[in-house]
Every structure is written in C-alpha cells, then in structure tokens.
A = this chain, B = another copy of it.
Amino acid sequence: MSSSPQLSSQSPLTTGESEVIAIFVQMTQVLGVPRSLGEIYGLLFATPQPLSFQDIADRLKLSKGSVSQGLRFLRAVGAIKPVVIAGDRREFFEPETELRALVSGFLRERLNPQLESWGARAKALKIQDFVSDGMSQNPAIKSDELKTLSNRLDKLKTWQKRANTVLPVIGKLLG
C-alpha cells in the first residue's frame, strides 16, 4: 500500500484546492518565504484528512527534497502538526489552523532571532566609527551633525526593546 487508503495521490487538484493553495502562495510573497511552503500548507489546509510525505509530493509534483525542507520549516514554526496513524510507518501531517498560533510561531522562529542579532549589532555602534579618519581631506563633522547622528544611534538602540515588548502582545490580541 503506497498511498493513503481511499486517497488517490496523483489526482489533479480540485478548483477549491488550487484556490486555497493560491491564497497561501500569495501570502508567501509577503512573508518572504519560498513558494513551496505556501503550496504545502495550502494543500494540507484544503484536505480534511492528514496527508503523508509522499501524498504531498505526488499531488503538488514537488521533489522529495523540497517536501522534506518544506515540512521541516512548517514544523519549526508550528504551522503543521504531525499525526501518527496506527500501524503505519509514515508520518502524516495536518495544518495548525489557529491564527494566533501561526502568527506567534512565525514571529518567534523568524523575527525574534533576527531582532536579537540586530539589537546586538546596534548596541555595538560607536560614534567614533563615523568620523572618516583619513588625512583630513574630509571635512570635520560639525557639532550639530554629531548630535543628530548620536540621536539616531540612540534611537536605533531602543528599537529592539520596543519590539520585544510589542511582539508578545500581538499573539494575545489574536487569541
């Protein structure tokens, strides 16, 4: 038995399935993630039964490599849930459909790590690094300009903290 019982893995997509997939593919463009993620999640969303690895590859005509990587990402952000089916060695998947879980998973796994790295770099900035220290063929920075620059760097350093207070709230607002 190579495919799910009662499920013809290589039948063409229905109109509805194609449309749901298209919607999620459209979202991938905004989120800046690969198109295949939208296809996989969309197919799972449009299918009441859990699907196996092979089901997904067959119906979407994606390579095993793409499906493997796609599922890994979707699992990492909590967008899909593994389903164990008794007496079947394969992994099955169904979609997480709570908006709150989807959004906060994405924020946690994608945005937060970047924010941290970004905040660390911002903190390391020194005014000193902005004066071109060549043989003074460059004009000295005026004091009001120095002030402006200093203000900007200070602002930059506060951004991470502010993001860290706001982001957790978003999840709650959606809950």
Chain A interface (Cβ < 8 Å from any Cβ of B): 6-8, 11, 14-17, 19-20, 22-23, 26-27, 29-32, 45-46, 48-49, 95, 97, 99, 110-111, 114, 117-118, 121-122, 124-132, 134, 137-139, 141, 144-146, 148-149, 152, 155-156, 159, 162-163, 165-166, 169-170, 173-174
Contacts and interface: CB of A to CB of B under 8 A. Distances in A.
A129 B97 CA distance: 20
A151 to B, nearest CB: 8
A121 B17 contact: no
Q: How many copies of this chain does the complex contain?
A: 2
A169 B174 CA distance: 11
A145 to B, nearest CB: 4
A82 to B, nearest CB: 18
B48 A132 contact: no
A19 B15 CA distance: 49
Contacts of A145: 48-49
